[in-house]
A and B are shown apart, each in its own frame.
Chain A
Amino acid sequence: MYTRIKEAVFKTIEDFNQQLVDSERLEQSMETVIGGKDGKLDSLQLLNFLFDIENSILNEIGIKVEILNEEILAQKVYPFENISTLIDYIQVILNSNNINKTT
């Protein structure tokens, strides 16, 4: 699953870069910093990016995942340090959804 999430995220980066100014584009790397003070994206762009990832995971993997949940929007959790932490976070959500479905 991790590999499929990573592919979906990297595909989102490729598409998302098209709407960014050249100097602002995100590198397809696990270390790319996306949010926070040192991130390349402002808060609205970050939301847009996460929204696109939700769509990409639905289209590529066929699973509806809600990254933009209340905790994120209230900034109670902040898993957007870089692409690696984001993918880990998505995996946690998907695993949690899976556990919830099976219990």
Chain B
Amino acid sequence: MINKTVVISTGSFLPENTLSNSDLIQFPPSIIPLIAKKTGVNFRKFADDSQCTSDLAIIAASRCLTKAGIDPLELDALILATSSPDRIQPATATRVQNRIGATRAFAFDINSVCSGGIFSLNLADSLIKSNFCKNVLVVAAEIYSKYLNPSDFSTYPYFGDGAGAVLLSSKPNTDRGIIHSILRTDGSRSDAIQIPAGGTMQPYQKLKNPKDIYFKMIGKEIFDFAIDKGTEVIREILQETGVSKDDIKYVISHQANINIIKEIAFRLEINPNKFPITLDKYGNTAAASIFITLDELFSCNSIDKGDLILLVAFGGGLSWGANLIKI
């Protein structure tokens, strides 16, 4: 019997600094109520100037390992999903590996933007099922506040910083674990979400436009894409596994926008109460959002062993995917 990849524990960390919508005084007061109305975001957490992405990841990872009661030396691999790394190189995961004392683990980053958590879980599952690893720590951490244009009303109010972690281990003789994953990419739309400068396409020393250092997205295109692909991939994963939507306890969606999540629930005829929401408190934390939400559910004992949960995300790349997990 093939060993299963079982979720052992979760952890998360949100920076202390909280900004409410009314704290965003750079925008006219008349349009501030539209932030909540258009996206559902009321607050966001921003890292302070001294914090980098790995700092958030380290705390989330440590909390996850503490809950599991596992020695960091038992980790075989550490995968960090981030699209806001500490530096261009090396991988942000390497600093996390060192700081948490996981010296036996190999460590690397995955950048699938908001779908990074989904992609990383699938990769960890493959490492475990191929017997290459026994214990894999998957972390997703983002600090978007350092990439946002403070005067851009169409991006700045909607994102937040944070980190989440999931510890996965190989377990024999169980029906629990990651049941199935679907990963998708449409590279023809790779320009739709981007930070144009800082890479080899437009190095900082050849900056054409000062605002190219900031996060940009084609909002109209992304809203429709997220609803279409989020709905489609949930249908696909249920169909491929033969699992009924009624048997799913929670659909943990990427926390991009309340209206996207509501529309996906509506199209699938799934009770919207099955879609936990954290974006109202934390904003869109990109790859970290599904792990943060998952950890909150565990922390308030809303998930029990044997529950079926579905994780779904969509974002830059464009990329999207889903994991079906029996806890």
Contacts and interface: CB of A to CB of B under 8 A. Distances in A.
B73 interface: no
Given A43-B38, A51-B27, A68-B28, A20 B220 contact: no
A2 to B, nearest CB: 25
A73 B210 CA distance: 31
B152 interface: yes
A47 to B, nearest CB: 5
Given A18-B211, A68-B31, A48 B191 contact: no
A41 B218 CA distance: 8
Nearest to B212: A18
Contacts of B192: 21
Q: How big is the A interface, by class? A: 20 to 34
A103 interface: no
B153 A44 contact: yes
Contacts of B34: 44, 47, 73
Interface in A21-66: 21-24, 40-45, 47-48, 51, 54
Given A48-B152, A69-B30, A73-B34, A21 B210 contact: no
Contacts of B214: 19
Contacts of A44: 34, 38, 153-154, 219
A19 B30 contact: no
Given A19-B152, A19-B211, A19-B214, A42 B30 contact: no
A42 B211 CA distance: 19
B251 to A, nearest CB: 25
Given A18-B211, A45-B154, A51 B28 contact: yes
Nearest to A48: B153
Interface string B139-172: 0000000000100111000000000000000000
Contact of B153 (A40, A47, A70, A73): A47
A70 B30 CA distance: 8
A66 to B, nearest CB: 8
A21 B154 contact: no
B220 A42 contact: yes
A78 to B, nearest CB: 16
A68 B219 CA distance: 20
Residue picked from A40, A48, A69, most chain B C-beta under 10 Å: A48
Nearest to B217: A21
A21 B152 contact: no
Contacts of B149: 19
Given A21-B194, A44-B219, A73 B209 contact: no
Contacts of A21: 191-192, 194, 216-218
Contacts of B266: none
Given A19-B152, A42-B154, A44-B38, A73 B218 contact: no
A19 B216 contact: yes
A47 B218 contact: no
A51 B28 CA distance: 8
A44 B217 CA distance: 12
Interface in B158-214: 191-192, 194, 209-212, 214
9 contacts: A19-B211, A22-B191, A23-B191, A42-B220, A44-B219, A51-B28, A51-B31, A51-B153, A68-B30
Q: Which 7 A-B pairs have the closest CB atoms?
A: A42-B219, A48-B153, A44-B154, A18-B211, A42-B220, A45-B154, A19-B211
Given A47-B154, A68-B31, 19 more contacts: A18-B211, A20-B216, A21-B216, A21-B217, A21-B218, A22-B191, A23-B191, A44-B38, A44-B153, A44-B219, A45-B153, A45-B154, A47-B34, A47-B153, A48-B154, A51-B27, A54-B28, A70-B30, A73-B30
